[in-house]
Amino acid sequence: IVTGASSGIGQAVARKYLARGANLTLVARRKAAMVELAGDRIDRCHIVEADLSDYRRAADWVDGAVAALGAVDVLVNNAGIQVVKRTVDTTFDEGERQIHLNTLAPLRITTHLLPAMIARGKGTIVDIASMAGIAPTPGMFFYNASKAGLGAASESLRGELRGTGVHVLTVYPGPVRTAMEAAGRAAYVETTASRLLTPVGDADDLARMIADGVASGRH
């Protein structure tokens, strides 16, 4: 399962797994983009059009995915949004939606799938956190909190599941070339120093590292 599969990091991860022969459940709001991503491999994809910011219903589609493709081997919690503004200019509704989608939705999906993974003695949960959760950036009050929360939950779950056969991989990307990154960067005043000193990664490279990390079982 890859959430947020219609663009950015999620799309790159989905492409990588399709290239490696996996059957995929793709979850995002934009169905057409997921159909295009699946292309001639649509027979290996179960496509779910859903807005996961309604976190209380964020796992409603999981049982249908299992019925379509079988037990879930890998869950990639990737779906997320980012609002870059001064905190006083950010509405609480905007902030709350980030917490709902970036933190509560992945926790809801994880807790839905976890009992079956533990019972089978195998499975991997991949949480796409962010360096913003470790080195918070001004102008991302709610986003920083949402990603710090996901990272902390993910790290604690790894320790809890030691010995069960279920692997937890916590990913902390810095800036990665995506539409979301470009929009976020545009909200700041660029300087020569920021342009030269801020590394920007490639989504396909990150997707390869994630898939390899899952395969290796390393943290």
Q: Show which residues are catalytic.
A: 143
β-strand 123-128 against 74-77: which pairing, if any? parallel
DSSP summary character for residue 90: S
Alpha helix segments (H runs only) across 39-78:
62-69
Q: Are 38 and 45 in contact (CB under 8 A)?
A: yes
Q: Are 202 and 160 in contact (CB under 8 A)?
A: no
Tokens of 88: 């006083």
Rounded CA-CA distance 40/36 in Å is: 9
